[in-house]
Amino acid sequence: MNNKPTITKKQLPKGVGFWKDGFRRLARRRMAMVCLFIIFAYFAIAAFIYLAEAFNWQLSIVDWSSQVGEEYQPPSKENIFGTDFLGRSVLRKTIYGTKISMTVAFWASIISLLIGVPLGAIAGYFRGWVDELIVWLYTTLSSIPYILLILAFALVLKDKSISFSWLHLGTLQLSGITSVYLAMGLTSWVGICRLIRGEIIKHKEREYVLAARSYGCKNARIIFRHLLPNVFHLIIINFSLRFVSFIQAEVILSFLGLGAKNQPSWGAMIDTARLDLPKGYWWEMTAATVAIFFISLALNIFGDALRDSLDPKLRVQ
């Protein structure tokens, strides 16, 4: 007679999914949560400025162009970061610059992922001449110094227009931040393409892919429904880590005069403040530098924590 106790379905321990376990590990890191709050604050500021401009809200904090005092006033209770050479609030310019930098970094990241991820997946899955062509393409791009490549694309796209009349969408004018994030997105997909290609090569011969083939799944379904979801954590990690480089690249382009026109950005503020430093007017340079420092530090710490929480190899270690 078998006296073994029977175990019901309700008594079985519930498994923890990959994403749930990863985000639970991430939530235990207090510093990562603080950095996540800082990142959300920057995005909230950028979104608030967009809403204020879209609905024409008359708010003083968004009105960066109005004069609030005399020129070159040092930081005080009335103006926390002082005023610039036209008597405008440096604090308001710094807050408005958040919109420019976050917009450029976000869309540049999206464009680079939309180009790099599919190309890397196609190259790693099909191999052969398709792989050789894509590898030749990103090897050629990576052989050119990155900053020179961005500058070349930014200069070519500056003040150009793209017609979408065949889609009845009118014409897109490439000026200001549009040309900047297009230039960065079109030139920065090489790293994620190489990473996804290597991961797809490792995953394409695993059991779940062979099972999908045995069921008659097409190649496109295998790539986008089976392979890419299994490497999606790498895409998220890469997105968070590259965000900082895009912010810094926008600052460089704005510093060189290729950024937004007639709008304050952190790079344009640094470009203006460098001429004021010998005169002892340090507060505009300090405001822009502090804004860049906090978002860069928060993104780096949060990106490292995200990688430690989601990367299976690091989680095992």
Instruction: Write out the E strands in the chain.
Output: 160-163, 171-174
pLDDT bracket for residue 313 (50, 70, 90): low
Identify any residues that bridge with 174 across adjacent strands, giving them in sequence order: 160
User: What phi, psi does 311 have (nearest 5°)?
Assistant: -75, 120
Q: Is the pLDDT of residue 304 over 60?
A: yes
Domain boundaries, the chain: 88-316
Between 18-27 and 283-310, two packed helices, what is the crossing angle to 10 degrees?
140
Q: CA-CA distances (angstroms) from residue 143 to 20, 41, 152?
A: 40, 37, 14
Domain 88-316 falls in which CATH fold? MetI-like fold (1.10.3720)
pLDDT bracket for residue 14 (50, 70, 90): low
Determine the longest span between alpha carbons in the chain, in angstroms.
96
- The predicted model gives 106-113 an average pLDDT of 90
Q: Which pLDDT value is given to residue 165?
A: 54
Q: Which pLDDT value is given to residue 114?
A: 92
185, 115 Cβ separation under 8 angstroms: yes
In this prediction the pTM is: 0.81
How do residues 22-34 score in pLDDT, each as one tens digit?
778 888 888 989 9
Q: Is the pLDDT of residue 310 over 80?
A: no
Three-state secondary-structure class, residue 37: helix
